[in-house]
Every structure is written in structure tokens, then in C-alpha cells.
Amino acid sequence: MFWIWVSGFFGMAVKFVFCSLSVKYRALRKGGYILGGPMNYLSRGLRRRNLKGLGKLLAVFTLIAAFGSSNLFSCNQSSVFLQGVFPSLKGRGIQIGIVFGATLGVILIGRVKRLVRVTEKVVPFMCIGHVLLGLIVISLNAAEVGGAFELIIRGAFNPGALKGGVLGVLILGIRRGAFSNEAGVGTAPIAHSETKTNRPISVGLVASIGPFIDSVVVCTLTALILVLTYHYQVQDLGGVDLTSAAIKSQIGMMEEYLFIPIILLLGLSTALSWGYYAIRASLYLFGANRRVEILLCVLYGIFAIVGASVSLHSIIDLVDLFVLLMALPNVLGLYIPSGEVRSDLHAYLSKLKGDKILHKGE
């Protein structure tokens, strides 16, 4: 957990740069839609260095990752959780996947406006619910919170931790942190490029809060739940099953009613977000083609069925691979234009101090 905190703080800087560049280099494409994200700043921002091909490469990796990582993972965890809570659903992963996939397909085919309406209602309820459950568990074990933090920090530097020692824990923590806050992957800039503002730096500053909330606040709550209930020592459970068992050990049958909507909404919102990223990547590669978009949404729903039917361990390996693929082109997109972002930041702060920032654009 300690290294997830570290990756979260570094992720704030990374996301600031990426989201600032995403808004700066977004473009109005034929059909009247705005297209931004890492594909644009890699192709337009690095054109002078003959590296514009990185944009297409990242778009391809985004499509692959959308289908093969978060979609599979989200549907898998939702399916596993439902099968654990309701014995009648045991062994019915395919049926659960069909329902989940059909829901995703219908919402995504309805385009961005329907997606926004769904997620803006889902995400706040999901976050508030998770925080409340975490606070309940912490309040029931308030006297042990200090010891829990001590255990987390000591475990991060324990030479015998896991099989790889400190280095092994560090690598695992950064891998999980990257998957959690997606900083450096290039997905958040796609979403933030839709922001209705002409001030890229302001968007980057707002976006930088995301990794802190995700990796430092939410992940810490989950870690405390596992440590305070001693479920971090459980070997035969993983993923959502482990967190569910930890919460259930504290609040009993209430967990079935409180945790179910949170997990389902988390899975749905995550899968929808990555479906949106896939659509934007396809727009970059193929332009505004409604047939391609519908085909993509249908295939995305089919992959949800696959995710609900396979094991978690095989999906985790794919997630790490695809996150790495997306991060590689973004490393250049972070390093090469970093001086440009620094200059833009200084100019923005100067205007802010001089009260020259307009409320309705510049």
C-alpha cells in the first residue's frame, strides 16, 4: 500500500502534464466533434520531431487495452461477487456476463450523452458508499488504526516481504497504483479533453487531484479495511471477494445490501469509461463512422461475457501487459514536451496573480 501512495503522488504530476497537453492539442474533427487525448498530443505535439506515428500506435494500444484489461477485469469482479453473495448464481458467469455486456452495449451505442447521464449518477453514489463502508469499519476498530498504518509502512520496507523483498513489493505496488489511478496510461486525458475551457493548465491542475483521491484516499480505506480485519493474511481469497469478506466480518448481513450496489456500479462505470476510450481511439483511427462504432460496442459487450467467465489471475496478467503497452508511448509524450508545459504553467500562474484570467475563456 505504501508504494501505491508513492505512485499516487507521482501520478498527480504525470496526470497534470498529460491532461494539460490533451486540451492544448485537441482538435475539431469533421462531423463537429472534439478529439483530444494522448493520440493528439503525441501526433501534433511531437510532429516537429517526426514522432507523430506514436499517436496511431497509442490509439491501437488503447483499443486493445479497452477490450483486454479493464472491461474483462470489471465484468469478472462483478460476476465473482454476485456468485459469492447469491448461491443460486454459482457457476452462471456466462449469464451474468450476457446481462452485463448487453447493458454496456446499449449505453455505449447511445453515444456520449447517454454515457454521461449514466456515469454522473453512478459515480458519486459509488464513491460515497465505499467511503461510508470504510469509515464504519475504521470506527469499529479505531484503537488499532495507528498500528495498521505502522504495519503498512513496515511491510513496504521489510526485506523478506513477499518473494522479491523490498524491490518486489515496490514493483507490485507501482503496478497496482498505475492500474488504480491510470496516471501515465493516457486514458484520463481523453476524458478531460472534452472540458469546455480554453485553459489547458487549469484542466491539468484539476485532473491532478484524481490520483490523490484514488490512490491515497480510496485505496487507503480499502487497505485499512483489510488490515484492521486481519483479512490481509487470508490466502484463498482475492480481489473483490477479499474486501467483501472483510467488510462482512464487521457488519454482517448488512454487507449484502450495502456492498452489492457499490461493486456493481464500480464495475459498470469502469467498463463504460474504457468503452468510451475505445470509441475515441476508433474515431482517431477511422474517423466518424457509425458502423464501426456500433460494431465496436457490440464486440465490447461480447468481451464482457468472456470476462465474467474466466479466472481473475489470467486477467490480472493481461491488465499489467496492456497498461505497460499504453504507458510506453506516453513516456515520450511526458518527457519531450515537459518544458513546454512548464512554460505554460508559469504563464498561467502569472496571469492568475495579475488577475488576468477570464471566467469565460481567454
Q: For the purposes of burial, counting CB atoms within 10 Å of the CB of 348, is it exposed (0-12), middle (13-18) or buried (19 or more)?
A: buried
What are the DSSP calls for 142-180, one per residue? GGGHHHHHHHHHHHHT-TTSTTTHHHHHHHHHHHHHHHH
**Among 125-129, 249-253, 273-277, 334-338, whose mean pLDDT is lowest?**
334-338
Question: What is the average pLDDT across 303-326?
Answer: 77
User: Stretch 194-222: mean pLDDT, rounded?
Assistant: 83
Query: What confidence score (pLDDT) does residue 257 get?
Result: 66
The vertex-58 CA angle with 57 and 64, nearest 5°, equals 95
- Give the residue among 328, 58, 332, 1 at the shortest CA–CA distance from 174: 1
Q: Which of 40-49, 170-179, 198-207, 309-318 has the lowest mean pLDDT?
A: 170-179
Percent of the chain with pLDDT over 70: 77
What CA–CA distance (Å, rounded) separates 182 from 178?
5
Q: How confident is the model at residue 253 (pLDDT cuts 50, 70, 90)?
A: low
For residue range 116-137, list pLDDT tens digits in order: 666 666 667 777 777 888 888 8
Q: pLDDT value at position 51?
A: 66
347: pLDDT confidence band, cut at 50, 70 and 90?
Answer: confident
Q: What is the pLDDT of residue 219?
A: 82
| pLDDT-based confidence at residue 360 (cuts at 50, 70, 90) | very low
Q: Check if the beta carbon of residue 38 is closer than 8 Å to that of residue 284.
A: no
Look at 68-82, 255-269, 339-353 and tell me which has the smallest mean pLDDT.
Answer: 255-269
Task: Quote the longest CA-to-CA distance of the chain.
Answer: 65
Q: Do 80 and 241 contact (CB within 8 A), yes or no? A: yes
pLDDT in tens, 22-74: 888 887 766 666 777 788 777 776 666 666 677 888 888 888 888 877 788 88
Q: Which domains does the chain have, with CATH numbers?
A: 2-353 (1.20.1740.10)
pLDDT at 159 over 60: no
Q: How confident is the model at residue 361 (pLDDT cuts 50, 70, 90)?
A: very low
What's the confidence (pLDDT) of residue 65?
83
Least confidently predicted of 180-184, 196-200, 357-361? 357-361
The pTM score is 0.78
The arithmetic mean of pLDDT across residues 283-300, rounded, is 85
Q: Which amino acid is at 235?
A: Q
Q: How confident is the model at residue 247 (pLDDT cuts 50, 70, 90)?
A: confident
- pLDDT in the model for residue 215: 78
Query: Rounded distance, CA 361 to CA 23, Å?
Result: 13
pLDDT at residue 322, as a whole number: 75
